[in-house]
Amino acid sequence: MERISLSTDRREQLVDVTDQVASAVRALGVQDGAVVVHVPHTTAAITVNEGYDPDVAADVLEVLRRLVPHEGGYSHAEGNTDSHVKAIMVGSTQIVPVSNGAPVLGRWQRIFFCEFDGPRRRELLVGPVG
């Protein structure tokens, strides 16, 4: 298992971690198959989406803010219930196919760490499937 450390600098942001995941794939020696990319945090997530136009990430965050507003009259005392719900909606794990030692992604696809309760120091786990 490879660990990727990262720091976020805003409460909510999508951080492109494609290159770090590709490095982890190489370090693991996975040539063909798949890796699991997992976020071990309850207020963060991982997704694969368009990385060409940065407006897509901004739009995704805006839609999530509208669906689950920060101030929603929630019971959780820490004040970050929206972050937990957004993490549940996006998901903590992605399976990424690997071919010839590299992640297989579509032309515009990138792997994003999704921060919903930053800024924080975070960790991402990458491991072989099977």
Domain count for the chain: 1
Average model confidence (pLDDT) for the chain? 97
Q: List, for residues 106-129, the tens digit of each pLDDT value.
A: 999 999 999 999 999 999 999 999
**The domain containing residue 106 runs over which residues?**
2-128
Q: What percent of the chain has pLDDT over 70?
A: 100
CATH number, residue 95: 2.60.120.460
Q: What is the CA radius of gyration of the chain?
A: 15
Q: List, for residues 47-84, the tens digit of each pLDDT value.
A: 999 999 999 999 999 999 999 999 989 999 899 999 99
